[in-house]
Amino acid sequence: MSAPENVFKGDRAKIAAVDMDGPLAKAEAPCCKCYMSAYGAAAQKAEEAGDFASAGIYRFLQAITSFRASFDTPAQPFVPFMQMEGRRGWIPSDLTSDDVEALRELSKVTKDPALRARLFDVLWELTKNHKLLGEAATSYIEAAERLKSPKQWTYSAEHYYRGLYLAARLGRDKKLFKNAAESLVRAAREAASDSDQSRCCRLMVFLMRFRCADPVEFAAIAAGLAQKATDRGNPYAARHCWEVEADWHRLAKNPGAESTARLAAAETHIIEAENRAKGPGASALAAASLLQTGIEALRQAGEKPERIAALRRRLTELQAASLSEMQTFTTQVDLTKAIEAAVAHVKSPSFHDAVFKLAIGYPLSDPSEVREVVMKQAHEHPILHVFGASITDEKGRTMARKAPLIDTRDSDNPEALEAEMFSHAAQIDWPIRVSGYIEPARMQIFNDHHPTFQDLLFVVRYNPFIPPGHEGIFLRGLHAGFHGDFVVAAHLLTPQIENSLRYVLESHGVDVSNLMSDGTQPVKVLGPIFGMSETKQIFGEKLCFELRGCLIEKTGYDFRNRVAHGLIHEAECYSTAGATVWWLVLRICLTPLFQNWAKNDTQAMPTQNQI
């Protein structure tokens, strides 16, 4: 095997003579996110002037500053700045031992704290030298303090977060961590006077994460910010502040104050919903989605049942009005055009907008339409359906059999027809959707936004599909999928679906247990759950068809069973099944799927209008 190629193409002996910090004066902000283009321009200028020694150093720095921070995942804190068509940007593991020595020399020359933080951090990741860990933490805090203006605070917050994390690795009782924590406390206090509460709230989240501030003091600050946002008529901002206040009260072990704050935060969803239902640009669909979230938030906050019942009646009104707003995103079988359309569809400066478009921009499979296609094929090509088929595993063992479809004009064998429907969807419809829509759209969103856990919190918080205490599992699974790590996404999300289905059914008053002869009451598993009429009433026939086909049907993907029993291999996680299950979970979490259903209502609830 040939040795890996060095990223650094220059002469290490000339590093000290090159002005490393000079090009950074033209950067938009003093942080590595803005340094890549600055070094790229400096390298091009040096190359045009024939100064190839300087150009080589600048190109190397361009590569080092191109690493995209992913500090929510400490095991892999740096990821490529771009991934596309089998290619990607640089990551630390691409660096050779010669490159590491070049990093050491560069770290001795630069005076820029953000660049020093990046160099020492990468060196720490590659060498695990604890002295470098301390240097990186110190530089991150210094860079954060330089960036803590209202215009650059987002960069500052990222540096504080990484600096505190690295300092804590050396010991929370050490002077380095205490100084870093005090710097963050001062920054949060200063931010409390901003006209926008975002900076202060973000910094307070970090303070809570590292347990390095007085909960009583900062609960009062958060409450003050919430009131200011309310006075400005900004329920979204007020909600964020009240949620932060509630978290501070929880740390302070003040459950009464925490409950009050959570109810206030939940109430902002109702305000937003009613605002969205009226005036210019009113949308019953958007209002219903907001109201649904608000109902779940109020329920979890302990609101009175009669209030919840009234809001559910209002939700029914909005959902009925929203049917006229439903639209579809259609593509041709030509995947080239489909991919272009998918990318264009989700391309947006707003991450929330892009994710929502990804989730609902492609229709679910309609079982009635799949049935018609299968019956037509059986009629036009009978020879293909005279004989049955066997479904085998990777070792050739027969796992299931498909009966022949000799005559589809009657209902003599509905099981065979249904098995063929799942097979058709799994082999034709769903792969086209993944290749032509889900994957290109996901990659576009990843390259445009590189979503963090913080960005995805809105998906899992107060979500009626996610049982309390499971939010972090869904958050990590959805985050992994956006970042292309379907091994993690598959193993976190797939087992959660069954319990979430039971959770929703129970929240609608449906008994999901079995009473056995010995008096035990085991809960129903996926097969029996999908066999319940209430499941189709609440989730809709289309979604149930897709979940069955993906999760438990042998002629589909049987993905849940393969994951649960350890049969799935790594490559299968990246298959159509893995991508489809991830997308379905995202869709369920983001789309108003459930209709209002009263426990004692004798009238059958209408199924969801699938988009």
Local structure of 83: helix, strand or coil? strand
What would you report as the CA-atom Rg of the chain, rounded to the nearest whole angstrom?
28
- Going by C-alpha positions, the residue among 327, 357, 363, 359 that lies closest to residue 344 is 357
CB-CB neighbours of 334 under 10 Å:
11
| 331-342 pLDDT per residue, tens | 445 688 999 999
- Digit-coded pLDDT (tens) for 201-219: 999 999 999 999 999 999 9
Alpha-carbon gap, residue 167 to 488, rounded angstroms: 28
Strand partners, 88: 83
Q: In this predicted structure, what is the pLDDT of residue 80?
A: 93
SS3 sequence of 530-585: HCCHHHHHHHCHHHHHHHHHHHCCCCCCCHHHHHHCCCCCHHHHCCHHHHHHHHHH
Greatest mean pLDDT among 139-143, 312-316, 319-323, 329-333 lies in 139-143
pLDDT for 517 equals: 61
Measuring CA to CA, how many Å separate 76 from each of 47, 63, 95, 239?
A: 33, 17, 15, 32
Q: Do 245 and 223 contact (CB within 8 A), yes or no?
A: yes
Q: How many CB atoms lie within 10 A of CB 596?
A: 21
* pLDDT tens column, 79-104: 999 887 778 999 999 999 999 999 99
- How is residue 419 written in tokens? 């098995």
The confidence score (pLDDT) of residue 402 equals: 54
Cα of 300 vs its chain's centroid, Å: 22
What confidence category does residue 515 fall into, taking pLDDT thresholds of 50, 70 and 90?
low
Average of pLDDT values for 310-326? 84
Task: Tell me if residue 93 falls in helix, strand or coil.
Answer: helix
Reported as a pLDDT band with limits 50, 70 and 90, residue 401 is low
Distance CA 26, CA 23 (A): 6
DSSP type of residue 385: G
Res 389 pLDDT > 80: no
Q: Is 484 exposed, middle or buried (0-12, 13-18, 19+ CB in 10 A)?
A: middle
d(CA 42, CA 59): 9
Q: Is the pLDDT score of 397 beyond 50?
A: no
User: From CA 159, how far away is CA 126, in angstroms rounded?
Assistant: 20
What kind and span of H or E run contains 318?
A: helix 305-322
Give the pLDDT of residue 11: 87
